[in-house]
Chains A and B, each alone.
Chain A
Amino acid sequence: DAKTTQPPSMDCAEGRAANLPCNHSTISGNEYVYWYRQIHSQGPQYIIHGLKNNETNEMASLIITEDRKSSTLILPHATLRDTAVYYCIVRPHSGNTPLVFGKGTRLSVIA
């Protein structure tokens, strides 16, 4: 079972920041937070991951709370092409634990 809780859907105006929350209150000390997204009928796409520090790459920023029980994925300037289902996943960084996908958040970017 997925160890994360995400809102089922969100809307965001084009050009604005999209902030996608994720609760992972039972996260263990060795578990990282991963974010993937899936655009309709395509394979999931890796976005970003982090342990406890905030992370930023060319696609997004990841903000993890100090107690690590929740996180927020930020798309700084959402475009129509960011419309997708976003999955928040927690898993150890080492070993061979498979990704367990929950239902994710369906983000709709509106013109």
Chain B
Amino acid sequence: KAGVTQTPRYLIKTRGQQVTLSCSPISGHRSVSWYQQTPGQGLQFLFEYFSETQRNKGNFPGRFSGRQFSNSRSEMNVSTLELGDSALYLCASSVLSGRTLYEQYFGPGTRLTVT
């Protein structure tokens, strides 16, 4: 079974621009979560989507947004990029069966550099 895939793997953007990152979960997984990882703050939760609905949101400004499509693929968008948005953005998928949340499987991440 193919793992979580993220595109692109590397991205360089300029301050003020916007960026869209994509995540394809493992087949059959319906929950997608996004995380930001920086050397200073470590791994921080951004948001989670299940069945095209945002289920949870971390403590990030409104410049960070996401969505999920009917095929469970997800995108996250960052508008008005700042230098501090430079990070590894990780996507994780999991099976959500009833009320039980199974372990999350992570993709390789998208390395975003803002100059």
Q: Which residues of A contact B (CB under 8 A)?
A: 34, 41-46, 49, 87, 92-103
Q: Within the complex, what minimum Cβ distance (angstroms) separates B26 from chain A?
A: 12
- Beyond A96-B50, A96-B56, A98-B48, whether A44 also contacts B43 by CB under 8 A is yes
Q: Is the CB of B103 within 8 A of A34?
A: yes
**Which B residues form the contact surface with A (CB < 8 A)?**
4, 31, 33, 35, 42-45, 48, 50, 55-56, 58, 88, 90, 92, 96, 99-101, 103-109, 111
Q: Are A95 and B101 in contact (CB under 8 A)?
A: yes
Residues of A contacting B90 in the complex (Cβ-Cβ under 8 angstroms): 43-44
Contact of A46 among B88, B99, B105 (CB under 8 A): B105
Residue among B45, B50, B109 making CB contact with A43, cutoff 8 Å: B109
Task: Verify B101–A49 contact, CB threshold 8 A.
Answer: no
* Residue in B43, B56, B88, B111 whose beta carbon sits within 8 Å of that of A101 in the complex: B43
